[in-house]
Structure 1
Amino acid sequence: MPPTPTVSTLAELAELAGVSVATVSRSLAGNTVIAESTRTRIVALAREHGFQVNQAARNLRLRRTGAIGVVLPLGHEAEQHLSDPFFMSLLGPLADAIADRGHDLLLSRIIPKDDRWLDAIVDARRVDGVIVIGQSNQIDAIERVARRYRPMVVWGADMPDKTQITIGSDNVAGGRMAAEHLLAQGRTRLAFFGNIEVPEFAARYAGFQQALAAAGGGQATLLPVHLTSEASYSAIENYLAGHASPDGIVAASDVIAMSALRALAGRGKRVPQDVSVIGYDDVLIAMHTNPPLTTVRQDVARGAAILVDLLFRRMEGEEVESVAMTPELILRASA
């Protein structure tokens, strides 16, 4: 049982300890300006007398909320949900990294109704900083806020001509290495499955095209399928029903790649004998598909740690730069 509180204010605790209120406040906050022996004595007194810091009052005084906003704008994919395998793989380590910094996570899934949705979030002042997961088709809305609101970082495609600080994989390199692998296998009828309205997917497609150009061109197809499992399956199934099958597919995400595996099986196409398939992300389920999925891995755990580190450095006023992590081709049975 916790002790019955006998001290209820900082002033009472300061009088008991024989120090100033400022010393008590700094000691309870772990401020190393105060000698360790003093901090230890004051913390022990606080516990002994059941004193609890009023965190809400402290945050108000320090003009902070103790929360970080994590925002998922779905302008291009209104049917996508938080249960999406990529979101799940990123949100876990992100929540842990934020908690390790002593902050809460305030999660928002946004279907933009206008171009002021991000302004509304930052202007409400309910959070100390914002992490945006994915740029969707909302680059302009994100960029406008990035110009005036510093404590914000974005998971997405690198934008050298923009103000926003981005963290993600080198998507061009990832798309290129996937296509190069298929070309090295002797595949000549390649296809890219993904909606290039999404900046990350556009960059992956650019890398895909670079590999084709370096190999002397060749036949290639772009199928702008959406991200959700059923929507991507339906689009791929409809395409295969009316066209000759490609012999190599680079999918913009693992979810799209898994839909391709299902649609190809329904058409009697063997993977990888008839068609090689490569995904992107390396979500946990990718190794359990039939056949196991070859994919381009994004190190999302490292990415989550970088997102949080850069955000808190920006919150302290530091200058930081965007980070593009090197992707890795994970070879499994599908290609």
Structure 2
Amino acid sequence: MTDEKAGPVRSITDLARIAGVSVSTVSRALTAKGALNTETRRRIQALADHHGFRLNVAAQNLRLGRTGSIAVLLPLGHERGQHLSDPFFMAMLGFLADELTERGYDLLLSRVLPQGDDWLDAFIRAGRADGIIIIGQSDQGAVLDAVADRYRPLVIWGSHGPRNRYLTVGTDNIAGGQLAAHHLIDRGRRKLAFFGNVAVPEFAARYQGFLAALPDDVRGQVDLVHAHVTPEASQSVATAYFAAGNRPDGIFAASDVTAMSVIAAAADHGLRVPADLSVVGFDDVPMARLTNPQLTTIRQDIAQGAHLLADLLVRRLGGDDGTSIQIAPTLIVRDSA
């Protein structure tokens, strides 16, 4: 297996010399992180076992000035009741975990309820991660702009804005809203409503695109219904809206969770979807095809988004500035519209 005269193995450098590979290759083999040929990984692990060598990952990271982790933060300034169990969050986090693991990083997850303007600075000062991915701008755009001026390894999943000083990866939300508008008009729907919190940049862009694509005589009659993104809050708002006698024939919801809540509330008020009411969501979470009726929605490619977020952040860590990226949305037609 190895030369018994090679001497004691006290460090990763000793093991790399005996194995005839680089130190980084030994590190990837012993941490099971990063791409490496299976045979090479097994051979190095066997050598380490033979010599009783165990890699001190914490000490290695300390020497390298790194943690080996990427933080994924979910700031909930606008929706403090939203939880990690939200279907969009769950899908995005799953894809991000896979992407970061492939690049040799652990995922450090934190749900943040911002208190003041220094929450992100405080997290960075704690030194718990090598870089940060933030899911959603929430109402924290000013905080993100300020931090981006002095902290490079920061990428945001969210709505692109020409004035943003931070990098974003996200769906073209305006185009997504336009797709929803065209689809509802093509279905003959003229009395429309939008359900969503337009204080959120992504939702505001979806509403903007939705309105812009409507005929003039329809645009001026659209109901804007402020709806939170949790299922309970969305259904409560929709229930009150229908109970007040409102009877739109088409609804565009800012998220699939809100759309599903609207459908449930409509059924409670004797409205048939899609016979009486067409409903279009946004996201295309896995649950969208399991609802009754199945949800027509605007798909944002979450898997591609996670790949681009991880790729852009790792390139930023390597010194590449990178640029913001927008992903084209797709209309997915199912039974609800």
Q: Which residue number corresponds to residue 11 of structure 2?
A: 10
Residues 162-181 of structure 1 mapped to structure 2, 5 A cutoff: 162-181=164-183
SS at match of 1:302: helix
Q: Which residue number corresponds to residue 94 of structure 2?
A: 92
CA contact (8 A) 1:13 1:24 kept: no
Residues 1:46 and 1:280: Cα distance change in structure 2 (over 3 Å) = same
Residues 1:18 and 1:200: Cα distance change in structure 2 (over 3 Å) = closer
CA contact (8 A) 2:12 2:26 kept: no
Q: Which residue number corresponds to residue 3 of structure 2?
A: none
How far apart are 1:10 and its partner, in Å? 2.1
Unaligned runs of 5+ in 1: 1-5, 32-37
How far apart are 1:25 and its partner, in Å? 3.7
How far apart are 1:29 and its partner, in Å? 3.8
Residues 1:202 and 1:51: Cα distance change in structure 2 (over 3 Å) = same
Q: Which residue number corresponds to residue 110 of structure 2?
A: 108
CA contact (8 A) 2:16 2:26 kept: no
CA contact (8 A) 2:76 2:112 kept: yes
What amino acid sits opposite 1:143 in the alignment?
D
- Match for residue 229 of structure 1 among 224, 228, 231: 231
How far apart are 1:42 and its partner, in Å? 7.6
Q: Deviations over 1:15-58 (max 9, x none)?
A: 98499xxx874553469xxxxxx999987654431222221111
Tell me how far apart the structure 1 counterparts of residues 146 and 133 of structure 2 sit (CA, whole Å): 15
How far apart are 1:292 and its partner, in Å? 0.6
Q: Which residue number corresponds to residue 157 of structure 1?
A: 159
What amino acid sits opposite 1:113 in the alignment?
Q
- Tell me the TM-score normalized by structure 2: 0.89
CA contact (8 A) 2:190 2:218 kept: no
- Match for residue 334 of structure 1 among 329, 333, 336: 336
- Match for residue 219 of structure 1 among 218, 221, 227: 221
Q: Which residue number corresponds to residue 26 of structure 2?
A: 28
CA contact (8 A) 2:12 2:55 kept: no
The alignment status of 1:130 with 2:132, answered yes or no, reads yes
Tell me how far apart the structure 1 counterparts of residues 41 and 282 of structure 2 sit (CA, whole Å): 50
How far apart are 1:168 and its partner, in Å? 1.0
Tell me how far apart the structure 2 counterparts of residues 266 and 97 of structure 1 sit (CA, whole Å): 42
- Match for residue 206 of structure 1 among 202, 205, 208: 208
Count of paired positions: 321
- Match for residue 81 of structure 2 among 79, 82, 87: 79
Residues 58-73 of structure 1 mapped to structure 2, 5 A cutoff: 58-73=60-75
SS at match of 2:66: coil
Q: Which residue number corresponds to residue 240 of structure 1?
A: 242
CA contact (8 A) 2:167 2:323 kept: yes
RMSD: 2.5
CA contact (8 A) 1:293 1:332 kept: yes
Residues 1:11 and 1:192: Cα distance change in structure 2 (over 3 Å) = closer
Unaligned runs of 5+ in 2: 1-6, 30-39
Q: Which residue number corresponds to residue 35 of structure 1?
A: none
Tell me how far apart the structure 1 counterparts of residues 267 and 332 of structure 2 sit (CA, whole Å): 22
Q: Deviations over 1:160-204 (max 9, x none)?
A: 211111111100000111011101111111111000000000000
Residues 1:102 and 1:268: Cα distance change in structure 2 (over 3 Å) = same
Q: Which residue number corresponds to residue 263 of structure 1?
A: 265
Tell me how far apart the structure 2 counterparts of residues 41 and 107 of structure 1 sit (CA, whole Å): 33
Tell me how far apart the structure 2 counterparts of residues 331 and 179 of structure 1 sit (CA, whole Å): 13
Q: Which residue number corresponds to residue 287 of structure 1?
A: 289
Deviates further, 193-202 or 210-219: 210-219
CA contact (8 A) 1:90 1:304 kept: yes
Residues 1:114 and 1:206: Cα distance change in structure 2 (over 3 Å) = same
CA contact (8 A) 1:14 1:24 kept: no
What amino acid sits opposite 1:220 in the alignment?
V
CA contact (8 A) 1:212 1:218 kept: no
Q: Which residue number corresponds to residue 58 of structure 2?
A: 56
The alignment status of 1:298 with 2:300, answered yes or no, reads yes
Deviates further, 188-197 or 237-246: 237-246
Percent identity of equivalent pairs? 53
- Tell me the TM-score normalized by structure 1: 0.89
